[in-house]
A and B are shown apart, each in its own frame.
Chain A
Amino acid sequence: EVQLLESGGHLVLPGESLRLSCAASGFPFSSYAMTWVRQAPGKGLEWVATIGGDGYTKYYTDSVKGRFTISRDNAKSTVSLQMSTLTADDTAIYFCAKERERGSTGDFFDYWGQGTQVTVSS
Chain B
Amino acid sequence: DIEMTQSLSTLSASVGDRVTITCRASRSVSMWLAWYQQKPGKAPKLLMYATSTLESGVPSRFSGSGFGTEFTLTISSLHPDDVATYYCQQYDDHVGLTFGGGTKVEI
Contacts and interface: CB of A to CB of B under 8 A. Distances in A.
A44 B9 CA distance: 11
B9 to A, nearest CB: 10
Contacts of B55: 110
Contacts of A104: 94
A50 B49 contact: no
A108 B34 contact: yes
A45 B94 contact: no
Interface in B32-72: 34, 36, 38, 42-46, 49, 55
Contacts of A59: 94-97
A114 B43 contact: yes
Contact of A50 (B38, B44, B87, B97): B97
Interface residues of A, number: 23
A108 B46 contact: yes
B1 interface: yes
Nearest to B91: A107
Contacts of B1: 62
A112 B44 contact: yes
Interface residues of B, number: 24
A106 B49 contact: no
A115 B46 contact: no
Most chain-B CB neighbours within 10 Å: which of A44, A59, A95, A114? A44
B46 to A, nearest CB: 5
Contacts of B96: 47, 59, 61
Contacts of B94: 59, 104-107
Given A44-B87, A50-B97, A106-B97, A112 B43 contact: yes
A45 B46 contact: no
Nearest to A58: B95
B24 to A, nearest CB: 15
B99 A47 contact: yes
B102 A44 contact: yes
B89 interface: yes
12 contacts: A37-B44, A44-B87, A44-B102, A47-B98, A47-B99, A59-B95, A95-B44, A106-B91, A106-B97, A107-B91, A109-B46, A110-B55
